[in-house]
Amino acid sequence: MSRAKAVYDWFDTRLDLENGQTFLGKAFPAEDSFLLGEVALFCFLLLILSGVFLGFFFEPSTSDVEYDGSVQKFQGEEMPEAFVSVLHITYDVPFGMFIRRLHHWAAHLFVASIGLHMLRVFFTGAYRNPREPNWIVGTGLAALSMGAAYTGYALPFDEFAATATSIGYNLTISIPLLGDFLGQVVFGGEFPSSATIPRLYFLHVLVIPAAIAVGLAVHMAILIRQKHTEAPRDGDVTGGRQSVDEDDDDIIIGLPAFPNQAAVSAVVFFVTAATLSALAGLLPVHNVAEYGPNDPASTPALIMPDWFLMWVYGFLKLLPQISFNVGPAHINGEFVGGIVLPGLVFAAVAIWPFIDRTEPTHFTADPLDRAWQTGVGVAAVAFIMIASIAGMNNILADQVLGTTTNVVNPILTAALLVVPPIFGGITYLLLRDGEPTPAQESDVAADGGSVGDEPDNTEPEGDG
Ligand code: HEM
């Protein structure tokens, strides 16, 4: 008997693992793209672990202290304590530079894997009835992950990060009626005040991670309760504990959670950790020593947010400077570009499953069979990409086209409005003829049966 089997049997005699109703007996469809959510999950875990290490050495304070460390050019200089502590972590704490880089790359992979996971769910229609609640929880998680990264960006309090973070402050105070109050709560008053770093630190290490943890618990609980979607089957499935009809949506075909899926997940974890370790070992991150401490009297030549917030920055760059009053509320371009438009994007994402309404559906769909939904997805991706390019309009103008932003901005605005519908329309026209007829669709769609109530087929048929 293998050691794994012996361990399994030990638990089985105590926890009745053989009973297919338990979590450990649940079936996981064997689809590679379903592992993207796990990559996000493991990034979150690695962020917590590396963040705990950093938390032992970081000082969330902007009071000046004398620097005494390995970076010669700052030796003996009075600088903000937060900046000094990040220099200390990077150059003097054993493994500090590695863990700081690991934390940085894990944050980027976290957001990227969430984005890809969301696209997978979108293009395969996995958000459809009855999974709308999990799509909405997921949308909240996407927003929180960006909030976590944003609040972390500011913490070293170097010249570049502090200036980039001040954009968020300006957006916050632009909110009519509530702006000043929210600026006090989130940033501790005018940016940067002595309360700014402690406030952002509190949000970064406690409030936002706790909210993500709660959101994840809900996300996983709903997933377990509803069960995973499954790719349409090629035919009836035989050979497991029971034979399953091709379109029987009461039973999931997949790997049992333990030990098979657990082994797959362990591989995903180690590949994620290894990839992040390789990135941390080889690629430097935000070079605080080069930027120097925050200096309110100067502005760096180039200010930009992280790539995943670039689309919001693009809105800000393209919108004209408007300023008017509606009753007691003052509306300006920062509010419209930085709060209203991104808010509308998130709202559109959240309500999408209620636009693409269906009967309860257990199976995923082929994006090539969903002409208008895939067209909308392609248009949305094009929209975010063009807005992100607009966020870098100065680089595009100066370094690529050798012109000014006054020339490229109208072109980018036109592209933002025209290119997404064109891309979406072409996608729709190309896929329209291949869409299944209603009769074909009923072969794979659920008939309103009880998704999630029946026992799993935990046999590893491997065709999921
Ligand atoms: C912290 C961020 C997130 C984590 C860690 C996470 C994790 C997961 C995991 C592990 C699964 C099961 C495996 C898989 O399908 O990949 C899952 C399923 C799901 N997620 Fe997420 N997710 C996150 C964010 C999101 C977002 C942003 C959305 C969409 C807006 C979303 C929507 C869904 C839906 C609808 C399912 C069920 C899919 C199905 O049954 O096929 N999730 N998530």
Task: Write the pLDDT tens digit of every residue in 403-453.
Answer: 999 999 999 999 999 999 999 999 999 999 876 655 555 444 333 333 333
pLDDT band at 244 (very low <50, low <70, confident <90, very high): confident
CA gyration radius, the chain: 25
Distance 85 CA to ligand 1 centre (A): 36
Using DSSP's 3-state secondary structure scheme, residue 363 falls into strand
Query: Any idea what the Cα angle at residue 196 is, between residues 191 and 199, rounded to 5°?
Result: 145
Atom of ligand 1 nearest to the CA of 117: 16
Output the average pLDDT for the chain. Answer: 90
Distance 346 CA to ligand 1 centre (A): 16
Scanning 124-261, the segments in alpha helix (DSSP H) are 132-154, 159-173, 179-187, 196-202, 208-226
pLDDT band at 240 (very low <50, low <70, confident <90, very high): low
180 residue type, one letter: D
Sign of the C-alpha dihedral computed for residues 141, 415, 399 and 303 taken in this order: negative
Q: Look at the chain and count its residues.
A: 464
Q: How far apart are CA 388 and CA 316, in angstroms?
A: 11
How many CB atoms sit inside 10 A of residue 19's CB?
11
Distance 5 CA to ligand 1 centre (A): 30
Listed range (145-149, 258-262, 429-433) with the worst mean pLDDT: 258-262
Q: Is the CB of 428 under 6 A from ligand 1?
A: no
- pLDDT greater than 50 at residue 239: yes
Task: Write the pLDDT tens digit of every residue in 291-317.
Answer: 999 987 787 777 889 999 999 999 999
Distance 343 CA to ligand 1 centre (A): 21
- pLDDT greater than 90 at residue 262: yes
- pLDDT, residue 247, reads 84
- pLDDT, residue 433, reads 82
pLDDT band at 258 (very low <50, low <70, confident <90, very high): confident
Kindly indicate whether the domain formed by 23-370+435-444 is annotated with CATH number 1.20.810.10. yes
Give nearest CA residue, ligand 1 atom 17: 37
Task: Write the pLDDT tens digit of every residue in 332-370.
Answer: 999 999 999 999 999 999 999 999 999 999 999 999 999
461 or 240: which leads in pLDDT: 240
Q: For strand 255-256 and strand 64-66, is the pairing parallel, antiparallel, or unpaired? A: unpaired
Q: Is the CB of 113 under 6 A from ligand 1?
A: no
Contact present, 183 and 189 (Cβ < 8 Å): yes
Q: How far apart are CA 222 and CA 178, in angstroms?
A: 34
Q: Is the CB of 223 under 6 A from ligand 1?
A: yes
Q: Is the CB of 128 under 6 A from ligand 1?
A: no
Contact present, 142 and 104 (Cβ < 8 Å): no
User: Across residues 174-201, what is the average pLDDT?
Assistant: 95
**Under 8 Å CB-to-CB from 181, ≥6 apart: which residues?**
none
Q: What are the counts of helices (DSSP H) followed by strands (DSSP E) for the chain?
A: 18, 6
Q: Is the CB of 106 under 6 A from ligand 1?
A: no
- pLDDT, residue 307, reads 95
231 or 17: which leads in pLDDT: 231
User: Across residues 235-263, what is the average pLDDT?
Assistant: 84
